[in-house]
Structure formats: C-alpha cells, structure tokens
Structure 1
C-alpha cells in the first residue's frame, strides 16, 4: 500500500550554508490495514519521515528517493491532485492537539470543515456525523464538546477530538506523530486503545511514531527502529522483544523501566 524507497532528507541552514543529513536512504513497505511503529530516541528522524510522506518538510530541505501510495508517487503530486490526496487519503494526528485546533473556533467547526473538504458533505449531515464520531472515540457529551473551544477541554479530550477528525474522512493511511506524548500514562493507554480500535474497524494503515517501545508494540503489527536518521532494524514486536538484532535495539530494550530490577 505504501512503499518508501531509499528516502533521503538533508536540510541546508540558510544563514551558514551548513548541510545536515536527517534521513539516510531508508526503505520500508506498509501493507493495507497494517500498523507500523517508528520507534527511537528524539532526533532519530521519525517525525521527519512522516513529513516527507505528507510533503511538508522544513524550508531548505532536499529530498531524495520515492514514496508511493498505491502506486502513485506522492513526491510527484502537485496542485489540486496533491491537495485532494492529502484531504482524502492521508490523515495526520499530531503530538500536540493545540497545534491542530484553532483556539478561536469551536471544536465543531474543525470537525465539520474537515468532512466538508474531504467528502463535500452538507453542513447538517456533517454536524450529525461529528457528533457520532465524538461518541465513537469515548466522548459522550458530544454536543457540549462540539460547542466548546479548545481551552475548555482537557488534553486527553482534545486528542480524542483530533482522532475523530483524522478518521472522519476514512483515509487510507493514518500518520500518528507521537499522539500520546503530552498525556498522562492512564490517558495515553486509553487514547492509544481508541486509535487502534478505530484503525482496525476502518481497515486503515497506520504509521505510529513513538519513543515508547512498549506502547508502539501494543498497537502495531511491526516495529521499525530508527537511530541517527537510519532504519537499523524492522521486525514484529515479538522479534524485537525476544531477539533484537541491532545493538541499538538492545540498548532500547534495556532502557525500559523494569518492575523487578533483578530481571535486568
């Protein structure tokens, strides 16, 4: 469904001319309905990989390689074709929901605009669908939330809203960029479970970015470990847990908190 072939990304500093190599010739595939976890420390290139898929790299970027979605070269899309692909086939769930939601608009406006853009849905139908979506992600007071502004809702509630918005257009590929990082541990588990459930129901593919190896393993079919912009290992959660092949993967496994320290 998604093929990334020899993806490279470098960024040139406009002031100094210094070139930083961010992604180093990475290749991977994602099947229809599959969830892949991109894991690794901060700065390893996880989020930049998602930005390349969406075509929203920082200024001064130079990108090499191919990214194909169902045979279409995403890097070659322009204009209306690119806009429609982003609206209909791809959906991003950001780390911080406050960066997605407009603080001066009610939540309902955000959800209804998304459906109107992607599906040309009439306003009345879009509002009804928005209410249904909020209930489906665990928000029972959907009408109140639709009228609420972002500052009136908790972080966990806002992330549920963003998930509802992401799945509203029934995209082929969900790009989840550390969607639980800003939440407490209990809410993290709840939001991750909702995201996994909705992805499976709609048979969507997903790339789930996280520095939390255990969380990614709980919601993904395979894990891809990144370090210094390079994919160093790909395997099932069981393979990564029980028989990590790369030294860095072993270091990540050993860095996980242990309930019984004597197990180390």
Structure 2
C-alpha cells in the first residue's frame, strides 16, 4: 500500500545556503491494514518522515527517493494531484488537538464543512455523518459537542473530535503524530484504544509516531526504531523487545524495564546502567548510550 525507498530530506540555511541532511536514505513498506510505529527520541526524524509523506516538508527543503502510495509516486505528483490525494487518501492526527480546530468556530464547522466542501456532500448528510462519527469515537452527547467551541471541551474530547474528522473521508492511510502527548495517562489509553478500533473497523493503514514504546507496542504490528534521521531496525514489538539488533535499541529497552518479565536480562542491564550512573565519571557515557 505504502512503499518508501531511500528517503532523503535535505534542508538549507536561508542565510548561508549550507545544506544539512535530516533523513538519511530510509526505506520501509506498509501493507493494507497494517500499523507501523515510528519510535525514538525527540529529533530522530519521526515527524519529518510524516511531513515528507504529506508533502508539507519545510520551505526550501529537498526530498529525494520514492514515496509510493497505491502505485502513485507522491514526489512526482503535481500540486493538484497531491491536494486530491491528501483530501481522499491521507489523514493526519496531530499531537495538539487544540491546534487542529479554529478556536472561534464550533466543532460542527470543523466536521460538517470539511465533509460537505471536500466531498460534495449535502449539509444535511454531513451533519448526520458527523453525529455518527462522534458516536464511533465514544462521544454520546453529540448535539452538545457539535455546538461546542474548542475551549469548552477537554483535551481528550477534542482528540476524539480530531480522530472523527480524520476518518470522515475513509482515508487509506492514517498518520498519527504523537496523538496522545498532551493527554493524561488514562485518556491516552482511551484514545489509543479508539485509534486501534477505528483502524481495524475501517481497514486503515496507520503510521503511529511516538516516543512511548508501551503505546507503540500496544497499537502497532511492527516498530521502526529511529535515531538521528535513520531507521536502525524494524520488527514486531516482540522482536524489538526480546531481540534488539542495535546498541541504541537495547539502551532504549533497558531504560524501560517494566516491559520485561521478572528475571529478564534487560532488567539486569537496566539496573547495571542505573548503578553506573551514580558512580563518579560515569554520567556522560551513560547519557551518550541512552541518547534520550
């Protein structure tokens, strides 16, 4: 469904013209209905990968390689083609739901006008569809929510609204960019469960960006570990947990010993790292190894 080959993102300094490579030739494929988690520390290139797929990379940046969605090369598509693809086949859920909605317009405008304008749906049909979508994401008081302004709803409620808007056009690929970062732990679990249910119910493929390995493992079929703009390894959550291939992945896993059963070797590794951190002269080495 999605095939990315040798993806390179290069940005240039507007003052000096100096170029910096941000993504370093990454490749991966995503099957229909599959969920892939991009995990890694801040600045590893996770969100930039999503921006390249959407065609909203930073101004002046250059994207090389191939991004193919159902046989269409997105990097070779015209602006009008990309707009149609983004309207029909791609959907983004951002990490801050407050930034996704206009603060001076009610929720109904966000959902109803999006469907009626982009998909030539009558307003009456769009209103009925909006209420149905809100029900699907666990909102029962749909009339009140549709009348509400963003500041009148909690972060968790707003993220549900954003998810409803994202699936309104039945996209092929859902891009979730740290969608639970601004939420408390309980609401995070609820939103992740909704995303997983919507993905399975609608047959969506999904790329889930997060720095939280627990969340990624709960909702994704495979995980791709990123560091400094490079995908280091890809595998199932069990493979990444039990048989990490790189020192960086092992350090990430050792930093979260709750992922392992009692007696797992990674617990001993994590305890050893914690003890070393308390010895004089050991802090810098451990910080460099963990990288997060």
TM-score category by the smaller chain?
Answer: over 0.9
2: CA distance, partners of 1:56 / 1:69: 16
Alignment deviations for residues 134-165 of structure 1 (CA, whole Å, 9 cap, x no partner): 11111111110101111111100000000000
**In the comparison of the two structures, how many residue pairs are matched?**
264
1:75 positional shift: 1.1
Note the aligned Cα RMSD (angstroms): 1.4
Deviates more, 1:251-260 or 1:87-96: 251-260
| 1:87/1:117 contact within 8 Å kept | no
Give the unaligned 5+ runs of structure 1: none
Secondary structure in 2 matching 1:258: helix
The answer to whether the 8 Å contact 1:40/1:46 transfers is: yes
- Asked if the contact 2:55/2:82 (under 8 Å) is kept, the reply is no
- Give 1:21 deviation, angstroms: 1.5
Higher relative contact order (CA 8 A, sep 6+): 1
What TM-score, normalized by structure 1, do the two folds share?
0.97
| Structure 1 residue 98 displacement after superposition | 1.4
Displacement after TM superposition at 1:257 (Å): 5.5
Hey, what does 1:29 align to over in structure 2? 29
Whole-angstrom CA distance in 2 between matches of 1:117 and 1:196 = 28
**2:180–2:188: 8 Å Cα contact kept in structure 1?**
yes
How far apart, in 1, do the equivalents of 2:102 and 2:108 lie?
11
Name the structure 1 match of 2:180. 180
Q: 1: CA distance between counterparts of 2:242 and 2:119?
A: 44
Shift of the 83–254 alpha-carbon distance from structure 1 to 2, 3 Å rule, reads: same
Q: Could you tell me which residue of structure 1 aligns to residue 214 of structure 2?
A: 214
Displacement of 1:117 after TM fit? Answer: 3.4
Aligned to 2:170: 170
User: Residue in 1 aligned with 2:275?
Assistant: none
Alignment partner, residue 95 of structure 2: 95
TM-score under structure 2 length normalisation: 0.88
**Shift, 1:261, TM fit:** 9.4
Match of 1:239?
239
| 2-structure distance, mates of 1:143, 1:117 | 21
**1:227 aligns to what?**
227
Q: Distance in 1 between matches of 2:208 and 2:14?
A: 31
